[in-house]
Structure 1
Amino acid sequence: MVNLVALGEVVTSLGFAPSDRIVRQRINAVEQQTIYLPSDMINSDGSLDVYDDVLRLFRPTYQKNHPAIQCAGWVGYIPLNDRYALEVGTRVPVSNLERMVGMAAGYSPEILRQYTRPFGQTDERPAALFDMLADQLLDSFDHIWDNGLLKTYERVKRAGQSPVGRVMPFQTGLRSARAGRPVAVSSAFHRSSDFGPNRAIKHSLEKLLARYVTIAEDSQRKRTQRLRRALERLGDVGPLTASEANPKAIARYVDRLPSGHERYGDALMVAQLIIYDVGLSIRNTGGVAILPTILINMAVVFEDYVRRVLADGLREGARVQVKDGNKGGDGGARRLLFDPIAVPFVNPEVTPDIVIEVDGRTALVIDVKYKDAPKIPERSDVNQVVLYGAKYEASQVMLLHAGRPNGRNSVELCGQVGSYKVYNGMMNLDTSNVVEEELKFVDAVRSLLP
């Protein structure tokens, strides 16, 4: 892993990165945990002193007559106010967490752009976080362009009839004697944007463009257009040289930035991550970069991750299709509850997390619960999934939990409710071999399919 800490230390010491950066006291927590809050977070009117846009992520409560917040499934550095922040970790090992986020197709993390935090680095690069880096670099470059590119003075020698700058007598005499006519050799300093900082930014933009031109999704079209426009503006900037392509060199560029050009520090921080193919650690803080706060909703990630695991594991021709019940249209399986419905009522939607079809008929409906596996699923959860079975005419339904106690199978039959078999699905996300855990679950699900 490339050591990029040098630049992060320089940026921090100079106060670069967004000007509203605040150093907050961290309160350590784990997902799903209820945390007591400091007493000075209570306002005079009894309300919690928490940012409004952050408070919506939690459920404020009181525990033993103390103000508290239940962390739910959010993971990351969560600013509460100008004094405190929650550092919420997950029970999932870092390597498994990065894999889950990377496999959660279509998942986009929550980005609190008005708050910043220091990031550590990782070898994993989930697509959603890569998009965030691209946007951050483009936003910084747009600001740089609006305020003018940095330029440096370089010495340029000229030989001809019209000298510019300082005439060099010895070389002028030598060239004139050889040519048999007056030739003036002069030297002058000219401003140029073709130097280290701009080359590093251009190189990172080129790497981004090379990535995004291969992605045909419409959602990436605007990002690709912005990258092309940025590179056109850097048309006079040459390629990054070997001596400039190392973390210490980029750190020196930031260290020597003149005042009023803080956005170069922001851009170069992101550029180094792109140049060296280094990802951001979702969970751990560090000195690699100071960027907007990124939060991961583990409940959503787990659902998207499991859907991807099943879709990849059950690729058996066109017989088996794994669909998302939260969506309609192609690949979706969302339906309306009543058929027909009495007028004038609004027909609510039915949105199971995963619908598995075999030869066009629903064979299994799965509802994903990001919580530990119970001995038997909770009654309210069973009620929900049996309704799904009735609506989708599926005789088998499952509640999948994020945990598998030792000695228990990946899928267990709980019993039968009417004509519906209810299964308890379990995946151990704390395992050291999550790929093996995925295969066990896929095999168990496959055994239920006709």
Structure 2
Amino acid sequence: MEADLCGSGPRRDAYGRKWSRAAAGPRGGPVTHLPNDIEVVECAEYDHIEIDTALWLNDAHQIVLNSEIDGRDILRANFRKGVLRLQATSYVGVIPLNEHVVVRVKPRVPIANLTRMVIETGHTVLALSAFREYSGRGTADDWAMDLYTDALLDYADELVDSGLQREYERRASEGHFPHGRIDFKRTMQRFGARGIPNKAAYSWFERTVDTSLNRCVKAAMEAVHAHLVKAKDKPRKGDRGRIARLAGQLLAFEEVAHDPDYRFLDDPQVLGLTPLPDPRAYYRPILDLSVLILRGVGIALDLGGADVKLGSLLIDTNKLFENFVRVTLSKHAARHGWPVDVLDGNTDGKVNLYDVPDPLPAPLGTPLQALATRDPGKAQPDIVLRAADGTFLLIAEVKNTAHGKHADADDVLPERGEVEQAVTYALRYGRPLTLLIHPWIKGTKGLVYVGRVRSVDVYDYRLDLSSEEHIDESLAVMANTIYSLAGLPIQIPTSG
């Protein structure tokens, strides 16, 4: 039994996040027994979360929920052993449940490099306004720069609203109308010795925004502007609006000098080696982000890190794992000249699930009209290998499930529902075998023979993504195994 986590009436909490109340009952009831500090709860995908119900239910039995996760299958409320509990789903990342609770959901399977998987597949991440810390890693590509752009624009708005840092800078001049402090020694040397009584050398202090901190931020804004205006294969929706917004922000930095040599990166305050004055502490997030942008450093999506603060990015690992396996196999096939197309069964590779026989069956004496006449259904395997003549050579189902994680045995059967789906697809595509692909948890790595369901052999490939160092090797072995299962001819390497 599941409760509906829907809400209405967005409000702002003490941390600036939107949240709302949900579920049945009168609206606007007070939340009681809630602490002033934020509780952080750690869990893995699909784990039940031990959170005191007083932290997310009010006295009117309304769920106090961040409105950004309303209507999304990110957290579920259900009964377990007679107790109403929350359960995580396939989304990993930092989830602000409400103003009192933050949930950190980690992948339940050992995935070494979420960032690489997201970049290679172009997988969409769900951005929330709640901030979390990330590590900088690798090189900033377009994907990272797109994230940096939105974050920098938001930070720059806050910076302009809060006020740019100003410092007093000493200025010096000479003339008939001195102001500030007169430099008597220099006046005597320059004018007194020459008999000029009506001129003096003087100095004064002037407040200026041309500081190392502001030069750093302006340089990052200029780098983001260059990213937005450059030609892209797939420009993002709203880039024109971002350019206009950035142009308006740059007006506030007109008096800040351009430093092409980035000499401001030698400033310990810019790098965070020296703390900022308390009144200017709001500069720290935008400075950290600006340094990453100017150094061209990418972002690591794995939980943990303290290089930069960005909005929390949630990743649906079920879709990510499926997309990553299919995209990797497709790239490998193209690179090695496979005589097949690697298709997504949800789109190009799907076929009708039901046929309508002729003549129709008549078990009661009169032919029965087939429902499939109006709706033949769809068979949609995650991966379909199709030859040039249109024949199907292999179908595979990709499942990001953690079967056997808590089992005593190292090797256990796949979930029955997954096998039944894969066997049904094999029969529909006329194949003598079917393949499941799972992330490896424990036990045997690589290809496992499960058994035979009547005429269909069932295989399970357990892909090891636990080590970032060996991911490429694991993917190549998987691709070669699938090539063999499809019955394709042995490829003989040719000399270049």
- Separation in 2, partners of 1:154, 1:344: 83
Aligned partner of residue 279 in structure 2, secondary structure: coil
Aligned partner of residue 385 in structure 2, secondary structure: strand
Task: Say which of 237, 253, 263 aligns to 2:257.
Answer: 237
Matches within 5 A, 1:19-418: 23-41=37-55, 42-46=57-61, 48-51=63-66, 53-54=68-69, 56-93=73-110, 95-103=112-120, 105-113=121-129, 115-117=130-132, 119-124=133-138, 128=143, 130-145=145-160, 149-160=164-175, 163=178, 165-176=180-191, 184-209=200-225, 213=230, 215-219=232-236, 222=239, 225=243, 229=247, 233=251, 234-235=253-254, 236-239=256-259, 241-242=262-263, 244-245=265-266, 248-251=269-272, 255-256=276-277, 258=279, 262=282, 264-276=283-295, 282-285=301-304, 287-314=306-333, 315-317=335-337, 319-326=339-346, 333=349, 351-359=380-388, 361=390, 362-372=392-402, 375-385=412-422, 388=425, 397-403=434-440, 405-407=442-444, 409-410=446-447, 412=449, 414-415=451-452
Cα distance, 1:445 vs. partner?
1.0
Greater RCO (CA < 8 Å, at least 6 residues apart): 1
- The 1:134/1:245 distance shift into structure 2, 3 A limit, reads farther
- Separation in 2, partners of 1:344, 1:406: 46
Equivalent pair of 2:112/2:467 in contact (CA under 8 Å): no
Cα distance, 1:222 vs. partner?
1.0
Aligned twin of 1:9? none
Unaligned runs of 5+ in 1: 1-16
Aligned residues: 424
- Separation in 1, partners of 2:195, 2:342: 84
- Separation in 2, partners of 1:94, 1:230: 42
Equivalent pair of 1:202/1:231 in contact (CA under 8 Å): no
- One-letter amino acid matched to 2:44: V
- Separation in 1, partners of 2:158, 2:42: 35
Cα distance, 1:50 vs. partner?
4.2
Cα distance, 1:195 vs. partner?
0.6
**Structure whose alpha-carbon radius of gyration is higher:** 2
- The 1:163/1:409 distance shift into structure 2, 3 A limit, reads same
- The 1:90/1:112 distance shift into structure 2, 3 A limit, reads same
Cα distance, 1:437 vs. partner?
1.9
- The 1:143/1:38 distance shift into structure 2, 3 A limit, reads closer
Q: Report the aligned-residue RMSD.
A: 4.3
- Separation in 2, partners of 1:395, 1:310: 21
- Separation in 2, partners of 1:146, 1:392: 62
- Separation in 2, partners of 1:125, 1:335: 41
Cα distance, 1:371 vs. partner?
0.7
- Separation in 2, partners of 1:358, 1:174: 93
* Residues 106-145 of structure 1: CA deviation (Å, up to 9, x unaligned): 11222221x234x252535686555323211112213434
Aligned partner of residue 81 in structure 1, secondary structure: coil
Aligned twin of 2:361? none
Cα distance, 1:439 vs. partner?
1.9
* Residues 261-281 of structure 1: CA deviation (Å, up to 9, x unaligned): 83x343223223334555555
Aligned partner of residue 288 in structure 2, secondary structure: helix
Aligned partner of residue 131 in structure 1, secondary structure: helix
TM-score normalised over the length of structure 1: 0.75
- One-letter amino acid matched to 2:42: N
Identity of matched residues, %: 25
Aligned twin of 2:461? 425
- Separation in 2, partners of 1:270, 1:249: 11
Aligned partner of residue 132 in structure 1, secondary structure: helix
Unaligned runs of 5+ in 2: 1-13, 19-35, 357-369, 405-411, 489-496
- The 1:427/1:200 distance shift into structure 2, 3 A limit, reads same
- The 1:34/1:170 distance shift into structure 2, 3 A limit, reads same
Cα distance, 1:369 vs. partner?
0.8
- The 1:228/1:179 distance shift into structure 2, 3 A limit, reads farther
- Separation in 1, partners of 2:483, 2:127: 37
- Separation in 1, partners of 2:400, 2:238: 34
- Separation in 2, partners of 1:448, 1:109: 33
Equivalent pair of 2:115/2:302 in contact (CA under 8 Å): no
- Separation in 1, partners of 2:186, 2:345: 80
Equivalent pair of 1:112/1:292 in contact (CA under 8 Å): yes
Cα distance, 1:441 vs. partner?
0.8
Equivalent pair of 2:322/2:398 in contact (CA under 8 Å): yes
Equivalent pair of 2:128/2:311 in contact (CA under 8 Å): yes
Equivalent pair of 1:399/1:425 in contact (CA under 8 Å): yes
- The 1:221/1:46 distance shift into structure 2, 3 A limit, reads closer
- Separation in 2, partners of 1:81, 1:436: 42
- Separation in 2, partners of 1:414, 1:428: 22
